[in-house]
């Protein structure tokens, strides 16, 4: 049988409630692996009748007796739990659908059921899914989900955990049905119930019996006491939890100098704050998320208390006074959470302002360095311009005097003799020595220049070809480039030696 068909018979009961069966079925199918056990169930059913507690376990669908579900009296407690908050409930989808069907559980309870198998979500922190349906003067149905926080006793880095519990209470003239969904067996409410309704020990008979305690008989006589018991387990946890968050925030703020009223101290601490900006902001935001979640859960608790106190069944009992005082304490916790949230947001803004100040200071330093470098380049350029002007002036004067110096040098040599008798210059017979030395030195100068230029070209070519040969040795593009270089070298050689 597929998951889709498992729920068909139960959801047909919701037609009179004008519910969208197809939408609920899709949600149940999608949450199959997260909410429900795949194979074996482990559901505890406790009946409180005539001062006795009769307990039995439901492991498979065969353990659910349709006749027993229809004919019973007193109080019946159906307890379903998970091993961990993020683990599925210890019930298969088939067993759960049969329980809901046999006890005609209102489909309004399904949103509470579908929230299990995972941790409480921030988007649903303030949602209680509270439903009160007054069927008659002596019959009513209450269902809701309570979000709470408690110490997890795991000894880890975070000693607190967010959890939830689901309650379905159907009261009739002579009997009360309680379906209780526990996210884990380690919660305080489960432990309190376990003392009142001890589960059958392993290896015992399918059905066990034990005397009911006075507290349990009182709950069956006044069923509103079960809701009081649930709320009393957790509503007092919000104050120490908010103090725990406040202590974390104070330690972070003190270690990063975020609470200093001295502006000079904050300015001097810019570099230290800048180095830890990301971890500090991340830790502050995480703490702020926890505060937001706690505030939403407190709103969830207040909503449940207000709705319970307004129920006609509970309005005439002492529970109304108890819920009023509990709601007042929770509203005080919500106010404290808002104050703490504002302080954390101010600290986050302060870190942002510190980061902005640091950026401005760094930008100012960089701007000054750029201006100094620009001024130095401008001075260097002006000096180069002045040197160029001086060199041009020297070149002009050299151009004027160099021909005269050259002519004076030539005629000042011993290769030229002035004949007094003939009154003119006579060239010496050894003038050919000057011509040979001059041309030889000129050739040696040209040869030295050519060799130097070729060596420089070869070094540049080897440096440019080395990366290309490592990345793509022997490629066509490299071969073509080498050929072009060789042709160019040949043309240059021809130009030099022609």
Q: Which pLDDT score, from 0 to 100, does residue 496 have?
A: 36
Q: Which has more pLDDT, 489 or 387?
A: 387
CATH number at residue 199: 3.30.460.20
Contact 241, 294 (CB under 8 A): yes
Domain assignment present for 386: no
Q: Which of 347, 371, 395 is the last residue of a domain?
A: 371
Instruction: Please report the pLDDT score of residue 210 as a whole number.
Output: 86
Report the alpha-carbon distance of residue 34 to residue 32 in Å, rounded: 6
CA dihedral 439, 444, 450, 454 (to 10 degrees): 160
Is the distance from CB of 173 to CB of 139 less than 8 angstroms? yes
User: Across 94-98, 154-158, 309-313, 489-493, which has the greatest mean pLDDT?
Assistant: 94-98
372 vs 489: CA distance, rounded Å: 46
Query: Whose CA is closest to 281, among 351, 221, 333, 185?
Result: 351
Q: Of 130 and 31, which is predicted with more confidence? A: 130
* 208 shares a domain with 77: yes
What is each CA distance from 387 to 187, 379, 383, 491, in whole angstroms? 89, 12, 6, 37
Q: Are residues 327 and 425 in the same domain?
A: no
pTM value?
0.70
Angle separating helix axes 214-221 and 224-234, nearest 10 degrees? 120
In angstroms, rounded to a whole number, what is the distance separating the alpha carbons of residues 118 and 194? 23
Cβ neighbors of 383 (< 8 A, separation 6 or more) are none
Query: Among 1-15, 266-280, 401-415, where is mean pLDDT lowest?
Result: 266-280
**22's tokens:** 């197809």
Last residue of a domain, one of 221, 248, 263: 221
For the cut 80, the answer to whether the pLDDT of residue 416 exceeds it is no
Q: What is the DSSP string of 61-117?
A: GGG--HHHHHS--EEEEEEEEBSSTTSPEEEEHHHHHHHHHHTT--GGGHHHHHT-S
Q: What is the pLDDT of residue 173?
A: 86
Rounded Cα gap, residues 108 and 303, in angstroms: 17
Question: What is the percentage of the chain residues whose pLDDT exceeds 90?
Answer: 27
* Residue 329 falls inside a structural domain: yes
Within-domain flag for 390: no
Q: Is 229 helix (H, G, I), strand (E, B) or coil?
A: helix
What pLDDT is attached to residue 276? 54
Within a domain: 376 = no
Distance from C-alpha of 170 to C-alpha of 21, rounded to nearest angstrom = 22
Residues 217 and 336 in one domain: no
Domain span including residue 419: 413-452
Task: Give CA angle at 283 (280, 287), nearest 5°.
Answer: 135
**Six-digit token string for 96:** 């759960």
Using 50, 70 and 90 to split pLDDT, how confident is the model at 117?
Answer: confident
In sign, the C-alpha dihedral spanning 209, 212, 217, 223 is negative
Q: What confidence tier does 494 reach under pLDDT thresholds 50, 70, 90?
A: very low
Whether residue 395 has pLDDT greater than 60 = yes
Sheet holding 207-211, edge to edge: 131-136, 139-151, 160-171, 175-182, 74-81, 43-49, 52-58, 207-211
Q: For residue range 205-235, list pLDDT tens digits in order.
A: 567 888 888 889 888 888 888 998 998 899 8
pLDDT mean over 302-312: 87
Quick one: 213 and 241 in the same domain?
A: no
DSSP class per residue in 81-97: EBSSTTSPEEEEHHHHH
Claim to verify: residue 16 and residue 141 sit in the same structural domain: yes
Please determine, for residue 495, whether its predicted confidence score (pLDDT) is greater than 50. no
In a domain, 78, yes or no: yes
Residue 46 counted as domain residue: yes
360 & 297 share domain: yes
Both 197 and 308 in a single domain? no
Q: Which residues contact 251 (CB under 8 A, 6 or more apart)?
A: none
Name the domain boundary from 345, 371, 397.
371
335 pLDDT higher than 80: yes
What pLDDT shows up at residue 492?
42
Classify 121 as helix, strand or coil. Answer: coil
State the pLDDT confidence band at 79, using cuts at 50, 70 and 90: very high
Q: What pLDDT is attached to residue 340?
A: 93
pLDDT tens digits for 35-57? Answer: 998 888 889 999 998 888 998 88
Asked if residue 152 and residue 39 are part of one domain, the reply reads yes
Mean pLDDT of the residues in the chain: 81
Three state DSSP letters for 171-202: ECCCEEEEEEEECCCCCHHHHHHHHHCCCCCC
Residues 79 and 213 in one domain: yes
* 497 domain residue, yes or no: no
Query: What are the backbone angles phi and psi of residue 423, rounded to the nearest 5°?
Result: 65, 40
Radius of gyration of the chain (CA): 47
Judgement on whether residues 105 and 32 belong to the same structural domain of the protein:
yes
For 5, 41, 134, 208, 385, the CA distances from 205, given in Å and listed in that order, are 33, 17, 39, 7, 108
d(C-alpha 145, C-alpha 167), whole Å? 6
Residues forming a β-bridge with 178: 77, 169
Pair 167, 314 in one domain: no
pLDDT tens digits, residue range 455-464? 988 988 888 8
Q: pLDDT of 148-203, one tens digit each?
A: 999 987 776 789 999 999 999 999 988 999 999 999 999 999 999 999 988 766 65
- pLDDT of amino acid 2: 58
Q: Are residues 120 and 47 in the same domain?
A: yes
* pLDDT of 266 strictly over 70: no
Number of domains in the chain: 3
Task: With respect to residue 263, please indicate whether it lies within any of the assigned structural domains.
Answer: yes
Distance CA 71, CA 21 (A): 28
**Chain CA centroid to CA 119, Å:** 16
């Amino acid at each position: 049988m597929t998951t889709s068909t498992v729920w068909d018979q139960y959801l047909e009961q919701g037609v009179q409630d004008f519910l969208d069966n197809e939408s609920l079925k899709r949600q149940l199918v999608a949450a199959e692996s997260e909410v429900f056990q795949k194979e074996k169930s482990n559901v505890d059913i406790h009946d409180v009748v005539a001062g006795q507690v009769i307990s039995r376990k439901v492991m498979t669908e065969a353990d659910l007796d349709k006749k027993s579900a229809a004919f019973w009296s007193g109080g019946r407690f159906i307890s379903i739990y998970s091993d961990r908050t993020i683990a599925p409930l210890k019930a298969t989808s088939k067993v759960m659908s049969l329980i809901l069907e046999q006890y005609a559980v209102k489909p309004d309870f399904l949103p509470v059921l579908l929230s299990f198998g995972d941790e409480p979500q921030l988007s649903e922190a303030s949602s209680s899914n509270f439903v009160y349906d007054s069927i008659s003067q002596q019959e009513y149905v209450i269902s809701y989900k309570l979000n709470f926080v408690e110490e997890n006793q795991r000894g880890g880095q975070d000693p607190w955990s967010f959890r939830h519990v689901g309650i379905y209470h159907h009261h009739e003239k002579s009997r009360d049905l309680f379906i209780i969904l526990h996210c884990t067996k380690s919660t305080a409410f489960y432990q309190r119930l376990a003392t009142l309704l001890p589960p059958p020990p392993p290896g015992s008979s399918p059905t066990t019996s034990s005397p009911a305690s006075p507290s349990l008989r009182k709950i069956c006589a006044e069923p509103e006491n079960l809701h009081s018991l649930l709320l009393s387990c957790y509503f007092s946890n919000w104050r120490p939890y908010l103090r725990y968050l406040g202590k974390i925030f104070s330690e972070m703020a003190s270690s990063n100098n975020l609470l200093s009223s001295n502006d000079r101290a904050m300015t001097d601490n810019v570099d230290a704050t800048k180095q830890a900006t990301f971890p500090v902001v991340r830790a502050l935001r995480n703490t702020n998320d926890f505060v937001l979640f706690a505030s939403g859960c407190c709103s969830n608790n207040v909503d449940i208390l207000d709705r319970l106190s307004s129920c006609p069944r509970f309005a005439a009992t002492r529970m109304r006074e108890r819920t009023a005082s509990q709601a007042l304490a929770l509203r005080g916790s919500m106010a404290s959470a808002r104050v703490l949230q504002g302080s954390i947001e101010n600290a986050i803004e302060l870190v942002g302002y510190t980061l902005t100040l640091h950026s401005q200071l760094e930008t100012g330093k960089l701007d000054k360095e750029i201006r100094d470098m620009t001024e130095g380049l401008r001075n260097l350029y002006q000096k180069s311009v002045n040197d160029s002007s001086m060199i041009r002036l020297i070149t002009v004067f050299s151009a004027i005097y160099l021909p005269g110096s050259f002519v004076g040098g030539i005629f000042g040599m011993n290769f030229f003799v002035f004949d007094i008798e003939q009154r003119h210059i006579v060239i010496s017979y050894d003038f050919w020595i000057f011509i040979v030395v001059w041309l030889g030195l000129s050739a040696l100068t040209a040869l030295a220049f050519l060799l130097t230029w070729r060596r420089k070209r070869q070094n540049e070519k080897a440096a440019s070809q080395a990366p290309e040969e490592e990345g793509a040795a022997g490629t066509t593009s490299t071969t073509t480039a080498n050929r072009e270089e060789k042709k160019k070298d040949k043309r240059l050689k021809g130009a030099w030696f022609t």
